[in-house]
Chains A and B, each alone.
Chain A
Amino acid sequence: MADQDHAEALAERVRDAHQRRQPLRVRGLDSKAFYGRRVDAPQLDVSPHRGIVRYEPTELVLTARAGTPVSDIEEALAANAQMLAFEPPSFAASASIGGAVAAGLGGPRRPWGGAPRDLLLGCTLLDGQGRILHFGGEVMKNVAGYDLSRLMAGALGTLGVLLDVSIKVLPAPKVERSLVLNLGYERALRLMRDLARQPAPLSGAAHLDDRLYLRLSGNAASVEAWQKQIGGDVGSGTGFWRDLRDHRLPYFAGEEPLWRLSVAPATPRLDCEQSVLTDWGGAQRWVYTRCAASEIRAEVAKNGGHAILFRHGDDEIPVFHPLDAVKQRLHQGLKQRFDPHGILNPGRLYPSM
């Protein structure tokens, strides 16, 4: 598909939908269609709006239309030895950069490289009235006005339709090496937390089935030095991390409800973690469990975290962690201001917004 600017056409559709109070299911390449509550509405397909608008490697900024495939961007960056530091997951053959930002998900590098919200410098969006608005910019530091661009990251298209995004990009590490250590859960968690306190060049730390997987990124000498210090076997390269990022490991093959727990990384194994893949050095846990949703959420909340029913849920259980009364009011207020008729992905994040 050719690079094309469809901003006006998309704006026209949203203006029309606003007038007719017609809900829209906003989509890019639809690789994360499973994520969030179902939206039964005609779709607004952003994927034809694609192409890298500006990319100057020495400015460390890339601006792309929302429908641009992440793979196109990664290719352009790789040609300049740069990368998307948030390592966006791709759950299908192809994912769009707009979807990656709207979903707000980060890959295994997230604790060190940041999430989409950390790298997002600015965006152009359509609000629920079809107005084209621009927040943030293409510079690293910008505190003029409220940070409404970062607010879009993770909002799942419920506050606005992303048209283009400007992202801080970073140099790719010169050397990456995977290490595998045979360790049970408790000892692996201990080691991950110990390493997080040292200036080790970590870019991945995950545990599954009595094996701790570590990824080191940096220059050759530094990676070499830390590999010696940590020990373990040298793993089989980038494959494990890509499969972890994209949920292609056999662990994710089941059709059971898959929970994502976000907790303080040193939190000991929770009762509900009957089957768990621990990522992000302990801060993100992919869990299959027999516990009821309410038990899971209570246990995680007690530890200051939140739980998402990431995949294979039914329509009964809320996907996202319920909000307290104050946050609920703020969420509804924001939704109302950005999308007064509630036409953008209604209910995808929370019912009634």
Chain B
Amino acid sequence: MSAQPRELRRDALARRLRAVVDGPHVLSSEAELRPYECDGLSAYRVVPLLVVLPGSAEEVQAVLRICHDERVAVVARGAGTGLSGGALPHEDGVLLSLARLNRILAVDPDNGCARVQPGVRNLAISEAARPHGLYYAPDPSSQIACSIGGNVAENAGGVHCLKYGLTVNNLLALDLVTIDGERVTVGGSGLDGPGFDLLALATGSEGMLGVVVEVTVKLLPIPQRAQVAMAAFADVESAGQAVADIIADGILPAGLEMMDNPSLRAAEDFVHAGYPIDAAAILLCEVDGGNEEVSEDIARVRQRLLDSGASEVRTASDDSERARFWAGRKAAFPAVGRISPDYYCMDGTIPRKHLPRVLREIARYSEESGLRIANVFHAGDGNLHPLILYDANNAGELELAEQVGGRILELCVEVGGTITGEHGVGLEKINQMCAQFPPEELQMFHDVKAVFDAHGLLNPGKAIPTLNRCAEFGAMHVKAGDLRFPHLERF
């Protein structure tokens, strides 16, 4: 098939697909395809051969059967908000949009769950559950737009993960369609399913193992109350210590966020959250639960913050102040976007105790490269988002930003962390996978993929690098905790 010219292949495949999906939902003209050329990582763009928008799980099955039969690559896409290029199209493949599968099938308050189609927006689930006093806990920052199917594919996180877990901890069941068009349910109506935990395996598999056509999510009771404290610190070390002290005191905050000076300054300029702009770092610590519990916990949080050297601690006096404290954090990315033509968002996770060292190293990379870097940190769970500021109009700056980003991720691996906490590997971090995993572990990933998709048709080229690619990239596998040049001083 690949010997034919692209136009002919496109027309032939479109004809077959239009037999199973309504004509208007098979997009084939350049103008129709163009909007699908990238996801949230817009530095990479590829126009797919075709875009298909099936209207039911049965249509997804039929589309996959055809693609399997024709040996055509399939890239599944939810809302396209992903930040790692996971939904970047394949130039000879079908971009399978799940956007039309957007129905909430059932909210079941008695069983504390909801059954939804993959194209349902994350926030829409909580909105539908609210009349029952329930909500869906994982709240990635894109939650007004991102889809639950994409959340499953990426094992999405958010600011409440430390207490409420990731997507994988908040699912009961998934219906997947395999590349040969078979539908399978993993998980169950109870708290577990029979056999191997394929629910966990499928979650975060970046569309490489199957296509999600239905999701059963766990719903939780909405906490009675939430309260937030904001603390300013003259140095990052004290802020890090404050986090450890809060945890050591037996408090499990619902949210615990840190911003360094460049990011808090940008956020303050943008939304006027009331952040102290001279602070080296601020911490936002939110506790939630029953009324009595929150009153006690917030008092203790305040004390720990003061004990660990905060120059200022403010507790939100009402909901509007609480919303304002959070507004700055939630607007951190767009705020940084205002002070730089472009920025590149990284997503490493580190053991929290290494934060001061990692931030010092990042500052050094910034100095050496001449690129400004602002840091936003999910401090409770060690997930660091350095934002590298660059200007794509200056020749070579994107490449430089990518290089600096790569060094940051390798640093995360060196200190015992990981190259991606919640954004996924996608295409973006595929080279850094070579630093995190030795060949035999990468091979095991390929073996697992082959069990589900022997011909490698689902999202080819993403998430797991080939061993050849790693050899070319030349990255040395960094064993967690071992420095590559232990004799060198590192500041």
Contact = CB atoms under 8 A, between A and B. Distances in A.
Interface of A: 56-61, 80-81, 104, 106, 110-111, 114-115, 117-118, 127, 131, 133-135, 137-148, 150-151, 153-155, 159, 170-172, 174, 193, 196-201, 218-219, 221-222, 224-226, 261-267, 280, 283-284, 303-306, 308, 320-324, 326-327, 330-331, 333-334, 336-338, 349-350
Nearest to A320: B194
Contact of B195 (A131, A200, A331, A333): A331
Nearest to A264: B189
**Contact-residue bracket for chain B:** 35 or more
Contacts of A61: 351
A139 B417 contact: yes
A145 B433 contact: yes
B392 interface: no
Given A137-B480, A140-B161, A222-B293, A115 B417 contact: no
Given A133-B441, A284-B191, 18 more contacts: A57-B247, A58-B352, A115-B192, A134-B480, A138-B351, A138-B480, A140-B381, A141-B381, A143-B154, A146-B464, A151-B197, A159-B196, A171-B251, A222-B289, A225-B292, A262-B193, A321-B195, A330-B184
A262 B351 contact: no
With a 10 A CB-CB cut-off, give which of B223, B295, B442, B444 has the most chain A CB atoms.
Answer: B444
Contact of A280 (B162, B191, B200, B243): B191
Nearest to A305: B190
Contact of A153 (B108, B197, B421, B436): B197
Given A127-B444, A280-B191, A330-B452, A225 B290 contact: yes
B247 A330 contact: no
A330 B449 CA distance: 11
B210 to A, nearest CB: 10
A141 B349 contact: yes
10 contacts: A110-B191, A139-B349, A141-B418, A145-B425, A159-B196, A218-B289, A262-B190, A265-B110, A324-B184, A336-B451
A111 B293 contact: no
A131 B353 contact: no
A323 to B, nearest CB: 6
A222 B294 CA distance: 9
Given A127-B444, A304-B188, A324-B184, A141 B201 contact: no
A340 to B, nearest CB: 10
B296 A323 contact: no
Interface string B406-444: 000000000011111111110001000100110011101
B445 interface: yes
Contacts of A151: 196-198, 200-201
Contact of B293 (A137, A221, A265): A221
Contacts of B447: 337
Given A141-B161, A197-B221, A134 B289 contact: no
A257 to B, nearest CB: 18
B31 interface: no
A144 B197 contact: no
Contact of A155 (B196, B291, B350): B196
A145 B445 contact: yes
A150 B378 contact: no
With a 10 A CB-CB cut-off, give which of B108, B190, B429 has the most chain A CB atoms.
Answer: B190
With a 10 A CB-CB cut-off, give which of B189, B196, B222, B444 has the most chain A CB atoms.
Answer: B196
B396 interface: no
Contacts of A139: 349-351, 381-382, 416-418, 421
Interface stretch (B19-27, B94-102, B163-171, B269-277): B163-171
A89 B252 CA distance: 24
Given A199-B289, A262-B191, A143 B109 contact: no
Given A154-B196, A331-B196, A199 B223 contact: yes
Contacts of B293: 201, 218-219, 221-222
A312 B80 CA distance: 51
Contact of A147 (B155, B191, B433): B155
A140 B383 contact: yes
A182 B314 CA distance: 47
B222 A199 contact: yes
A24 B491 CA distance: 49
Contact of A148 (B188, B248, B448): B448
B409 to A, nearest CB: 10
Interface string B236-274: 000000011101101110000000000000000000000
B468 interface: no
Given A199-B290, A265-B112, A327-B195, A140 B296 contact: no
A171 B417 CA distance: 23
Interface string B122-133: 000000000011
Given A139-B381, A172-B250, A221-B292, A326 B184 contact: yes
B323 interface: no
B147 interface: no
A122 B436 CA distance: 14
B190 A284 contact: yes
Contacts of B166: 141
A203 to B, nearest CB: 13
